[in-house]
């Protein structure tokens, strides 16, 4: 009889239904990966190199660029090699390490949107105290608890997954190590793992979204009650709302595809799970670069040379 704990090596078998056409996926995903690296690197370079962009709002955008730059590095190279050379194997330790980095760093996407909403709240609703509250000592009061929350929940979730015995096969229908995909290969009772995954989802992205939504309701109410003078201040908020809407829509599709029984093909579920991590990394720097006039002007100067004449109105 096979030992329940014998499976320490897994096969990442995402998009296997494509058969011989699977290597074709290398092209679109490679283009998105390169676009993500270039766009986020350019955004980071512009913010770091321009003193005028060293305000809290732009530093938070740079933080988002760091997350969007690093997150694809944890799974894209391995996924691309899998498409090109059919290298699909991964050890249990490698799977758990990849899972921890993906979930921990991925949590910062919603967390940074919380900090951006907080920044806009202070700037619009309490402008006289903005610099005091966004100074490093005061801002750390909001940063440290959230970092501890993200690290504790994700570490506990991955640790519980690592304690399971895997006897339900070695083929994981995914392109990277996702928590529920790995738990689905375990034998025995996995109720605690499902509960921990649900708790982590509620206490990080869902709780962050509730906080963000509440913040923007207060901001819009404050602006509408103050008249036209506050309308211009909402311009940066719209950019954040666009990013939040796109991220939340993809996250909701991925979450429901795993939690609710449906007729969604496995390849479609894997596609949305991959897009949840990769698409925001391509989408966010473009949105911030296009919609934020100060960043847009500096990007154009960088791309066209130092002799570029500023023609874009403030």
Strands of 98-227 (E only): list them: 171-172
Task: Write out the H or E segment, with its range, that includes residue 257.
Answer: helix 235-259
pLDDT confidence of residue 161 = 92
pTM for this entry: 0.85
Domains of the chain: 9-301 (1.20.1070.10)
Ramachandran region of residue 303, left (φ > 0), alpha (ψ -120 to 50) or beta?
alpha
pLDDT confidence of residue 106 = 86
Q: Using an 8 Å Cβ cutoff, are 33 and 76 in contact?
A: yes
pLDDT confidence of residue 75 = 92
Strands of the sheet containing 9-12, edge to edge, are 89-91, 9-12, 171-172
pLDDT confidence of residue 2 = 45
Strands of the chain (E only): list them: 9-12, 89-91, 171-172
State the first-to-last Cα distance of the chain, in angstroms, to the nearest integer. 72
Task: Write out the H or E segment, with its range, that includes residue 33.
Answer: helix 26-49
Regions of the chain short of the pLDDT cut 70:
1-7, 168-169, 227-236, 256-263, 305-314
Q: What is the pLDDT of residues 108-143, one digit of tens each?
A: 888 888 888 888 888 888 888 888 888 877 778 888
pLDDT confidence of residue 94 = 92
């Amino acid at each position: 009889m096979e030992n329940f704990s014998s499976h320490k090596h897994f096969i990442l078998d995402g998009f296997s239904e494509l058969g011989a056409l699977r290597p074709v996926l290398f092209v679109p995903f490679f283009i998105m990966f390169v676009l993500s690296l270039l766009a986020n690197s350019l955004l980071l370079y512009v913010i770091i190199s321009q003193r005028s962009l060293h305000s809290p709002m732009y530093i938070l955008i740079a933080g988002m660029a760091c997350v969007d730059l690093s997150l694809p590095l944890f799974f894209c190279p391995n996924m691309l090699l899998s498409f090109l050379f059919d290298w699909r194997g991964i050890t249990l330790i490698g799977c758990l390490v990849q899972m921890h980095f993906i979930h921990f760093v991925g949590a910062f996407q919603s967390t940074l949107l919380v900090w951006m909403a907080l920044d806009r709240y202070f700037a619009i609703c309490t402008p006289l105290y903005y610099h005091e509250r966004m100074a490093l000592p005061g801002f750390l009061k909001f940063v440290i608890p959230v970092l501890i929350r993200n690290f504790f929940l994700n570490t506990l979730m991955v640790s519980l997954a690592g304690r399971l015995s895997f006897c339900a096969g070695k083929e994981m229908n995914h392109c990277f190590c996702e928590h529920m995909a790995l738990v689905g290969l375990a034998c025995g009772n996995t109720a605690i793992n499902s509960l921990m995954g649900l708790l982590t989802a509620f206490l990080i992205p869902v709780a962050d979204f509730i906080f963000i939504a509440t913040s923007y309701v207060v901001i819009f109410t404050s602006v509408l009650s103050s008249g036209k003078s506050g309308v211009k201040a909402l311009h940066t908020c719209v950019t954040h709302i666009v990013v939040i809407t796109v991220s939340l829509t993809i996250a909701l599709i991925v979450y429901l595809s795993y939690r609710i029984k449906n007729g969604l093909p496995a390849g479609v579920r894997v596609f949305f799970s991959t897009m949840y991590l990769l698409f925001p990394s391509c989408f966010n720097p473009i949105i911030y670069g296009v919609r934020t006039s100060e960043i847009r002007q500096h990007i154009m100067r960088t791309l066209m040379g130092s002799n570029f004449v500023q023609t874009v109105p403030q």
